[in-house]
Structure 1
Amino acid sequence: MVAQWRGDTALIRAVGRVFRSTGRAAVAVITPQGESTATVGTDHQSTFEIGSISKAFTGMLYRDATERSLVSQTAVLRDLLPLEGHGEVGSVSLSSLAIHRSGLPGLPPGMHLLRRTFDFWIRGQNPYGDSLADLLEQTRYVRVGTPRPRYSNLGFQLLGHAVAKGAGTTYERLLREVLGEGFSTPARAEDLGPADLTGFSRFGRPLPAWVGEGLAPAGGIRATIGTMRGFLRSVLDGSARGLSALEPVSKFSPRVGIGAGWITLDFQGRAITWHNGSTGGFSSWIGLDRDAGVGVVVLAAAHGSVDRRGFRLLTDFVNSRGGATVTR
């Protein structure tokens, strides 16, 4: 059955060239000529897990906090989190966490890693239900390796909670204060409501939500397509806080730069700033061509990369410079 998208006509045409079929998804586009949104199988009130796009938001919270002198630019984790007796982890700098160059592993090692892997791949369970206290305890015996580019969920979990402590609040409250209302970071399955979508595996299996206080800064944020469109608008018009996070300050690989969480890439001769996300049952992508003033968000309630679709849509709208019209 052909998916029936709803929304702006021009965007639906563009989406139709990229999405062959889909279950529940939403797309937002902003160009200098206006904004548009399209949805399929869902509506504007439904919230999606945005996965690791959360890291890009955490990078902005970090930069905003340093710009407001709430957090020192030379701060290390033990300055902000109770890590007495946790060995090397306390000496890791927030600045190195923000560019995935801290020496921390992707996840806490040992039984915690084995449990996460087994629970997710065998049982389909949420592997990230930890409280902040649980997360900190898991770092007690973590060894810090050589600082080099290494993508780390653990690093961004610690970064986000450290920044929130520096600001004297919780991560969710700081997120809403800095980037706007509409975002949520549910700590328990009981915190979910009717608007929170259920995600599906690539084989169509419904999966439990990825919730957990500890997870939030690295992959636990939920948002509607309207909230994401508003965020995208604020970045493109320059009103968002922590915008310096988008500026690359280091190399993540020979062709890829990194700011605070945000990735930069030369794509078909254009400088693209972006991040993607993936949880057990959701996939997401956000990308901006800041020179052209064009941005795209793709959210899907199904596991499986939407990166190619996001890049294709962004390229199409940069080339057309305005196939979208303002939705009201």
Structure 2
Amino acid sequence: MDRWAGMSAIRTSGDGALAARALHHLGRRHDRFVVARVLHGQVHIAQVGLEPGAEVEIGSVSKAVTGLLFDDSRRRGETSDDTPLGDLLPVAKTPVARVTLGELATHRSGLPRLAKGTASVRATLDLWRHGTNPYGETLEEVLEAARATPVGRKRPSYSNLGFMLLGHSVAAAAGLTYAELLQQRIAEPLGLLATTVPATAAELRPAAVTGTSRRGTVMSPWVGEALGPAGGIRSTSDDLGRLVRALLDGSAPGMGALEPVQRLSGGVRIGAAWLVLEHRGAVVTWHNGGTGGFRSILALNRDAGAGVALVSATARSVDSAGFALLAECVAAADGTVAADG
């Protein structure tokens, strides 16, 4: 018997079968989430415990979007893998100025996860104690910290700082802010009407959802001008479905970002932010994310024309559920399992 046989007690909207399968894979500790599934161009979405149009934090899936913007910038001739940060941001004559955009995009810049001395480092304790946002810096505040940050050995090492600098560099090359770049080159062309990158809590819209920690503590929204390219984007199930469809049909700007160019670790390869691995005999292109109150994943089986985006408003991993939903979607298309389980 399905452990979610009592699902009728939970408020759902959208595709009921998709909601049921997501609930099945997530388990009882995820009672507020949005999910989108795409197969051969057909988009299905659902909300569980949230209203239609609910806006959620996609966390580090924002890095994957920044990867698209970087590849689009390369194609426009505005930047290249070899472009140094010092050519685009005011960090000249400091070690970080020599770091290239290609190194940032593949987490091989030698930069630490966060710049030393930023509020993000100092606020970590307050995050876990009180649910406060550790990423409220302006771009100038992060640039000041980056100027004083040493650059280590050029080896694979995940860096939020690196993607903050990458996104703002690409925006500077276009003469735009990151928020403007996102709107003009991703959101507007793809019809992502509710996808935004708020710099302050005051910029949140009424549909913005508040997330919770694993223990149920209400968490402050993760907003900040500097944070945007690395983890500050908000979206909805509708917009995530449109994004997944565009990634599968190749109409999304910057599709070259999905092509792996380096090995990150183990069997995982990386393009411009996008990760590629083999799962259950299939090649999956993906990125996940997490903020104080949300967990997210966007995963694609490009060969099968299938993709899933899943965001939960609680800080518990959704990775295994996302991969399971993707595999199930492909199996359903092959006729080996019923689409509704």
* Normalised-by-shorter TM-score class: over 0.9
Number of the residue aligned with 1:54: 62
Q: CA deviation at 1:165?
A: 0.2
The answer to whether the Cα contact below 8 Å between 2:120 and 2:135 also exists between their aligned partners in 1 is: no
> Aligned residues: percent identity?
45
CA distance in 1, matches of 2:98, 2:141: 19
Whether 1:40 and 2:48 are equivalent positions in the alignment is yes
Aligned equivalent of 2:116, options 101, 109, 119: 109
CA distance in 1, matches of 2:157, 2:41: 39
Whether 1:275 and 2:274 are equivalent positions in the alignment is no
Q: Name structure 2 gaps, 5 residues minimum.
A: 1-5
Whether 1:166 and 2:178 are equivalent positions in the alignment is no
The answer to whether the Cα contact below 8 Å between 2:80 and 2:101 also exists between their aligned partners in 1 is: no
The answer to whether the Cα contact below 8 Å between 2:13 and 2:52 also exists between their aligned partners in 1 is: no
The answer to whether the Cα contact below 8 Å between 1:34 and 1:324 also exists between their aligned partners in 2 is: no
Deviations along 1:37-66, whole A, 9 cap, x unmatched? 111111231100000000000011001001
Aligned equivalent of 2:228, options 216, 223, 228: 216
CA distance in 2, matches of 1:39, 1:270: 28
Deviations along 1:126-166, whole A, 9 cap, x unmatched? 00000001110111211100000000000000000000000
Q: CA deviation at 1:16?
A: 3.7
Whether 1:118 and 2:125 are equivalent positions in the alignment is yes
For 1:42, the aligned partner's letter is: L
Equivalent residue pairs, number: 324
The answer to whether the Cα contact below 8 Å between 2:119 and 2:137 also exists between their aligned partners in 1 is: no
CA distance in 1, matches of 2:236, 2:311: 9
Number of the residue aligned with 1:143: 150
CA distance in 2, matches of 1:225, 1:279: 18
CA distance in 2, matches of 1:73, 1:201: 37
Whether 1:177 and 2:184 are equivalent positions in the alignment is yes
Aligned equivalent of 1:65, options 73, 88, 103: 73
CA distance in 1, matches of 2:35, 2:279: 20
Q: CA deviation at 1:185?
A: 0.8
Aligned equivalent of 1:88, options 88, 95, 120: 95
Q: CA deviation at 1:4?
A: 3.9
- Secondary structure of 2:324's counterpart equals helix
CA distance in 1, matches of 2:59, 2:166: 16
Deviations along 1:166-185, whole A, 9 cap, x unmatched? 01111111112221243211
Aligned equivalent of 1:263, options 275, 282, 287: 275
* TM-score for the superposition, normalised by structure 1: 0.94
Aligned equivalent of 1:24, options 2, 8, 32: 32
Q: Structure 2 matches for 1:248-259, cutoff 5 A?
A: 248-259=260-271
Deviates more, 1:308-317 or 1:69-78: 69-78
Q: CA deviation at 1:33?
A: 6.7
Q: CA deviation at 1:207?
A: 1.0
Number of the residue aligned with 2:304: 292
The answer to whether the Cα contact below 8 Å between 2:72 and 2:253 also exists between their aligned partners in 1 is: yes
Whether 1:204 and 2:211 are equivalent positions in the alignment is no
Number of the residue aligned with 2:246: 234
The answer to whether the Cα contact below 8 Å between 1:26 and 1:38 also exists between their aligned partners in 2 is: yes
CA distance in 1, matches of 2:157, 2:123: 20
* TM-score for the superposition, normalised by structure 2: 0.91
Deviations along 1:73-125, whole A, 9 cap, x unmatched? 3211010001135x200110000000000000000124645413222123321
CA distance in 2, matches of 1:175, 1:278: 20
The answer to whether the Cα contact below 8 Å between 2:167 and 2:229 also exists between their aligned partners in 1 is: yes
The answer to whether the Cα contact below 8 Å between 1:48 and 1:222 also exists between their aligned partners in 2 is: yes
Q: CA deviation at 1:7?
A: 2.3
Aligned equivalent of 1:307, options 297, 319, 330: 319
The answer to whether the Cα contact below 8 Å between 1:73 and 1:95 also exists between their aligned partners in 2 is: yes
CA distance in 2, matches of 1:246, 1:122: 37
Higher relative contact order (CA 8 A, sep 6+): 1
For 2:219, the aligned partner's letter is: L
For 1:92, the aligned partner's letter is: V
CA distance in 2, matches of 1:164, 1:35: 30
CA distance in 1, matches of 2:122, 2:52: 36
The answer to whether the Cα contact below 8 Å between 1:29 and 1:324 also exists between their aligned partners in 2 is: no
